[in-house]
Amino acid sequence: MHNYSPNYSGQYVGEQGFLSSLEVMDLLYRIVSSKSVFGEEYECGMLLAEIARSEGLVVEIQPIADRRDNILITLGADSYRSSRHGLLFHGHYDTVPALDMPDAFDVGIRDGFLRGRGAVDQKGGLTAALAALIAMKRSGRKLKRSICLAAVVDEESEHRGSYTLAREGIRADYAIVTEPTNLSKVEFGCRGSAPLQIMVEGRTAHAGSAAEGINAIEKALPVLERLFDLEFLPLDLGELGEVRGSLCVSIMEAGTGYNNVPHQAVIWMDRRTVPGEDTAFALAEVQSVLDQVKKEDPGFSARVRVARPDWSWPPIIERGLNPTLTPADTELFSVLEKAAAKCGMGKPSKAFANCYYDMDFLVNDLGIPTLVYGPGDGRLNHSAREAVAVDDVCRAAELFCHVSGALCL
């Protein structure tokens, strides 16, 4: 299984460091091997807690639901609540299911890559942050500011972990969300995601006398046309580039039988929002589409609401997932840049993410300037080829130590 020859050595991690590359590999192997598909995270959470405790780090369990917990790991304070941290690491330890990945939970290491569900999204980054805390602890250096790692659940579904973390409160000068950015770019923000559902009303009749009914599929056509015609203007984010909103009609359901006029057509869509927009804005936009259709066809009847097939938890439906932006001149970026140089890595680029991250909760609810940076190629997220280079996890751990040192020593 262990086909890995470490090719990395730094001041904190690696051959000369406080934590060897082989130990990092072992941590990664254990954490990825501990299956934690969202909803079934318990064992993996307990493993993280046990590893951290055995290294003398302060471990606190934050219950989210039955057998679902955030694990808060602190160095330099006796509780995650008792101080304002110099740096907060954030990582989710839930994963998506196997999907089309064969042997997704039969973890193996080949040619320096560890393969398995969650390796990239995002146990690689989580392991790097945990390894950094362990290395800092073993170094014995006295911290002026505390460091905390929040390992959360449910990022892949209802975001209950980060929701609870934000509601219970945690204070920090800066945060790093350790999702994969291939260690080559730093993401300053992300788009939000507004899940919307339109219900178009019709009336059932026998297909042979269709004129007696109202065909909901036909009624849905002008709605779909208008949705596909919506245009989203680019938003200029300066050095982070241009970003624009988008709308994807992702599921459609209609009809009850071959010989029935459908009485209802349901359209589900994922509207991605940019800074300045939110779920209420997206909802109003679709409502105005429905209003236009109604103007042309007074018999048209439809309503739109916030809904997602896999969401049933009222707080997240209420809150939504918002776009996020950390100012491009944040001090944390120059600290990261210097740390990358110390690790012999190239200058990371600045970017804005099209996907959604839990950084939303850290920035928008807790007011913590947050950047996204971690090992692994995000294009492999949820894919059958999910694998991360062990050396990159070591490199990330080393870099996180340098960032921690710059902010907290």
Kindly list the residues in this chain that would bind Zn ion in the complex (CB under 5 A): 121-122
| Chain position whose Cβ is nearest to Zn ion | 121
- Taking the least distance from each CB to Zn ion, the nearer of 122 and 273 is 122
b (16+ CB within 10 A) / e for 278-296? bbeebbebbeebbeebeee
For residue 104, what are the CA distances in angstroms to 35, 97, 100?
9, 8, 9
Indicate the pairing of strand 264-273 with strand 246-254.
antiparallel
d(CA 297, CA 25): 63
Nearer CB in complex with Zn ion: 190/289: 190
d(CA 318, CA 4) in angstroms, rounded, equals: 47
CA 1 to chain centre: 29
Per the CB < 8 A criterion, the answer to whether 71 and 89 are in contact is: no
**Nearest approach, Cβ of 379 to Zn ion (angstroms)?**
13
| 298: CB partners within 8 A, 6+ apart | none
Measured between its terminal Cα atoms, the distance across the chain in Å is 38
The backbone region for 190, taken as left when phi is positive above 0, alpha when psi lies in -120 to 50, beta otherwise, is: beta
Q: Considering beta carbons, is residue 122 or 193 the nearer one to Zn ion?
A: 122
In the bound state with Zn ion, the residue whose beta carbon lies nearer, of 162 and 404, is 162
Q: Is 85 or 123 the residue whose CB approaches Zn ion more closely?
A: 123
Residue 405, φ and ψ in degrees, nearest 5: -60, -45
Question: Toward Zn ion, which CB reaches closer, 199 or 380?
Answer: 380
- Residue 34 CB, shortest distance to Zn ion, in Å, is 16
CB of 299 to Zn ion, least distance (A): 45
**Closest approach of Zn ion to the CB of residue 384, in Å:** 17
Report, in Å, the least distance between residue 378 CB and Zn ion.
8
Cβ nearer to Zn ion, comparing 12 with 373: 373
Which CB atom, from 117 or from 395, has the smaller least distance to Zn ion? 117
Q: Please give the order of strands across the beta sheet that includes 246-254.
A: 246-254, 264-273, 192-201, 302-306
Nearest distance from C-beta of residue 382 to Zn ion, angstroms:
9
Q: Are 88 and 164 in contact (CB under 8 A)?
A: no
Contact (Cβ atoms closer than 8 angstroms) between residue 222 and residue 293: yes
> Closest separation between CB of residue 230 and Zn ion, Å?
28
What is the distance between the alpha carbons of residues 309 and 283, in angstroms, rounded to a whole number? 17
Residue carrying structure tokens 């995270």: 41
Q: Is the dihedral of CA 342, 346, 350, 351 positive or negative?
A: negative
Q: Pull the structure tokens for residue 238.
A: 């300066």
Closer to Zn ion by Cβ: residue 126 or 265: 126
Can you say whether residue 255 is alpha, beta or left, with left for phi > 0 and alpha for psi between -120 and 50 degrees? left
User: How far does Cα 103 stand from its chain's mean position?
Assistant: 24
Residue 9 beta carbon to Zn ion: minimum distance, rounded to whole angstroms: 29
Nearer to Zn ion, 117 or 319 (CB): 117
Shortest spacing between CB 125 and Zn ion, in angstroms: 9
Q: Given its phi and psi angles, is residue 159 left (phi above 0), alpha (psi -120 to 50 degrees) or beta? A: left
CB of 102 to Zn ion, least distance (A): 21
Kind plus residue range of the DSSP H or E element containing 342: helix 331-342
Q: How far is the CB of 155 from Zn ion (least distance, A)?
A: 6
CB nearer to Zn ion: give 12 or 357: 357
